């Protein structure tokens, strides 16, 4: 059985100012924007007291994003906010003046018209962009990598998007979408990764993700936890991870929680970059076959990377069995705990935390990050059963077992 791999952050911290992009004030702007949507409500922060006792922790909390805007995943937070910021910028307005009621008004159509938003996705980001574009009377074009789930494609098409599955990997889909956006005089790329020359929209997307982190921080305080000791957050290109890391580093500037970045082993570009210890980005290429489709990205977000290498504690590469284990544990909780329906990209931190606390083979990592009986742990279940058939195959039928047959 493939092993979990890990590396502590020994990289130079750098002098960049990227962390300022995730300041509490900037995230509050995104939160206010999302609150203007009639579909908005805080997603639950599940306190798993029984699981915490079983694992030997003080507290364990799971932010459950399967309830977000009825879309079963958190990604809509980023795409919707980026689209709002783009429209506000084109009109020369502050985002505070461009809320949901205005964006869906006849006045906007007169003042702005319509734009086509292009993107690439493994599923959740594209659905979020398509949903937001549909709600706001705009257009969207979505490209998905080969091997993408048919049901995820159909969910995107239900939002009136022009969506296709291509015969290339995720990073190539990004290039296809970007080329089409550049060729369309009324087109704009809305992608949740950044590269040189493409930073503004990815920054807005990360700030949109910050709404989830801000909610979690407030919910923790309401539950009597002033500060989590540990945060586990998964990463594909790293936009979510950088958003969460950046927000909590700003919220607790003198005592940032220990933050562990978790990736799929087939697409562990951040882990490989951290292992290089020089602060330089490494890419992963090829098909990146993993059940964690939302994490199957081989080229890191350059903005997020600077935040992660400056603040994160450790980077962990996880095989598929870790995610499958986490899905089963959250779906069949300890008696008295709430159930969390978590998809392949949402549950990997659960599988990792449980393995660290229960498997002596990984005691070195557990000790290195000081995960113990005094720990108050926060993780993010970023999607529900976005591929119901595969969710059942894993949770009901035991696919991808966490033991040797």
pLDDT reported for residue 15:
85
Average pLDDT score, the chain: 97
pLDDT reported for residue 404:
59
- CB distance 65 to 251 below 8 Å: no
401: in domain: no
Structure-token pair, residue 33? 């924007």
Looking at the predicted structure, is the pLDDT value of residue 14 above 90?
no
- Scan for tokens 């949507």, then name that residue: 37
Residue 261 phi/psi, 5-degree rounding, is: -95, 125
What is the CB neighbour count within 10 angstroms for residue 45? 20
Are residues 104 and 47 both part of a single domain? no
Give mean pLDDT, residues 281-305.
96
Of the residues 59, 99, 122, 387, only one is catalytic, namely 122
Structure confidence by residue, pLDDT tens digits, 347-364: 999 999 999 999 999 999
247: in domain: yes
Give mean pLDDT, residues 375-387.
98
Are residues 261 and 160 both part of a single domain? no
Looking at the predicted structure, is the pLDDT value of residue 260 above 90?
yes
For residue 257, the 8-state DSSP code is P
156: in domain: yes
Count of the separate structural domains present in the chain: 2
Are residues 99 and 19 both part of a single domain? no
Structure confidence by residue, pLDDT tens digits, 307-329: 999 999 999 999 999 999 999 99
From 169, 196, 223, give the residue that closes a domain.
Answer: 196
Give me the percent of the chain exceeding a pLDDT of 70.
Answer: 100
Are residues 236 and 339 both part of a single domain? yes
Helices first, then strands: H and E counts in the chain: 16, 11
C-alpha distance from residue 69 to each of 130, 230, 398 (Å): 13, 27, 30
Are residues 248 and 121 both part of a single domain? no
Structure confidence by residue, pLDDT tens digits, 83-101: 999 999 999 999 999 999 9
Give mean pLDDT, residues 106-122.
96
In whole angstroms, what is the distance from residue 12 CA to residue 277 CA? 8
For residue 325, the 8-state DSSP code is H
From 144, 172, 196, give the residue that closes a domain.
Answer: 196
Are residues 339 and 219 both part of a single domain? yes
Are residues 68 and 81 both part of a single domain? no
400: in domain: no
402: in domain: no
Give mean pLDDT, residues 16-38.
97
Rounded to two decimals, the pTM is 0.97
Told to judge if 75 belongs to the known catalytic residues of this protein, a careful annotator would answer: yes
Q: In which domain, by residue range, is 181 found? A: 76-196
- Scan for tokens 């002033």, then name that residue: 226
404: in domain: no
- CB distance 30 to 210 below 8 Å: yes
Are residues 94 and 171 both part of a single domain? yes
- CB distance 166 to 173 below 8 Å: yes
Are residues 288 and 375 both part of a single domain? yes
Are residues 351 and 240 both part of a single domain? yes
In whole angstroms, what is the distance from residue 276 CA to residue 139 CA? 42
Are residues 319 and 332 both part of a single domain? yes
Max CA-CA distance within the chain? 64
123: in domain: yes
Provide CB contacts within 8 A for 389, sequence distance 6+. 151
Of the residues 29, 59, 63, 75, only one is catalytic, namely 75
**Can you give the CATH number for the domain in which 40 is found?**
3.40.50.1100
341: in domain: yes
C-alpha dihedral (218, 26, 190, 390), degrees to nearest 10: -10
Looking at the predicted structure, is the pLDDT value of residue 405 above 60?
no
From 145, 180, 196, give the residue that closes a domain.
Answer: 196
Looking at the predicted structure, is the pLDDT value of residue 4 above 60?
yes
Provide CB contacts within 8 A for 224, sequence distance 6+. none
Told to judge if 107 belongs to the known catalytic residues of this protein, a careful annotator would answer: no
Instruction: Supply the DSSP string of 130-141, one letter for each residue.
Output: HHHHHHTT-EEE
Give mean pLDDT, residues 176-198.
97
């Amino acid at each position: 059985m493939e092993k979990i791999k890990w590396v502590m952050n020994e990289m130079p911290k750098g002098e960049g100012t990227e962390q300022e992009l995730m300041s509490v004030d900037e995230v509050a702007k995104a939160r206010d924007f999302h609150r203007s949507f009639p579909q908005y409500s805080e997603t639950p922060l599940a306190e798993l007291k029984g699981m915490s006792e079983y694992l030997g922790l003080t507290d364990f909390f799971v932010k459950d994003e399967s309830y977000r805007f009825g879309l079963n995943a958190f990604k809509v937070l980023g795409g919707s906010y980026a689209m709002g910021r783009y429209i506000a910028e084109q009109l020369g307005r502050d985002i505070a003046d461009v809320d949901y009621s205005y964006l869906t008004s006849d006045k906007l159509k007169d003042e702005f018209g319509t734009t086509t938003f292009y993107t690439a996705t493994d599923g959740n980001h594209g659905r979020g962009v398509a949903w937001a574009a549909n709600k706001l009377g705009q257009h969207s074009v979505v490209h998905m990598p080969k091997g993408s789930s048919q049901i995820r494609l159909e969910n995107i098409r239900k939002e009136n998007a022009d969506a296709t599955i291509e015969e290339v990997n995720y990073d190539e889909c990004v290039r296809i979408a970007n080329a089409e956006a550049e060729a369309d005089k009324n087109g704009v790329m809305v992608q949740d990764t950044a590269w040189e020359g493409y930073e503004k929209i990815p920054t807005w997307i990360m700030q949109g993700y910050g709404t989830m982190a801000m909610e979690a921080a407030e919910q923790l305080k309401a539950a009597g936890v002033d500060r989590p000791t540990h945060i586990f957050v998964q990463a594909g290109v790293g936009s979510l991870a950088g958003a969460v890391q950046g927000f909590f580093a700003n919220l607790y500037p003198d005592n940032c929680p220990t933050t562990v970045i978790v990736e799929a082993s087939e697409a562990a570009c951040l882990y490989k970059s951290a292992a290089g210890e020089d602060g330089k980005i490494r890419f992963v290429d090829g098909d990146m076959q993993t059940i964690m489709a939302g994490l199957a990205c081989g080229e890191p977000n350059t903005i997020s990377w600077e935040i992660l290498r400056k603040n994160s504690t450790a980077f962990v590469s996880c095989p598929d069995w870790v995610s499958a284990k986490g899905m089963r544990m959250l779906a069949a909780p300890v008696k008295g705990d709430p159930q969390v329906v978590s998809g392949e990209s949402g549950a990997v931190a659960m599988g990792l935390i449980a393995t660290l606390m229960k498997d002596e083979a990984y005691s070195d990592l557990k000790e290195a990050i000081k995960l113990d009986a005094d720990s108050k742990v926060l993780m993010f279940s970023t999607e529900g059963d976005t591929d119901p058939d595969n969710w059942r195959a894993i949770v009901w039928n035991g696919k991808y077992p966490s033991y040797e047959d």
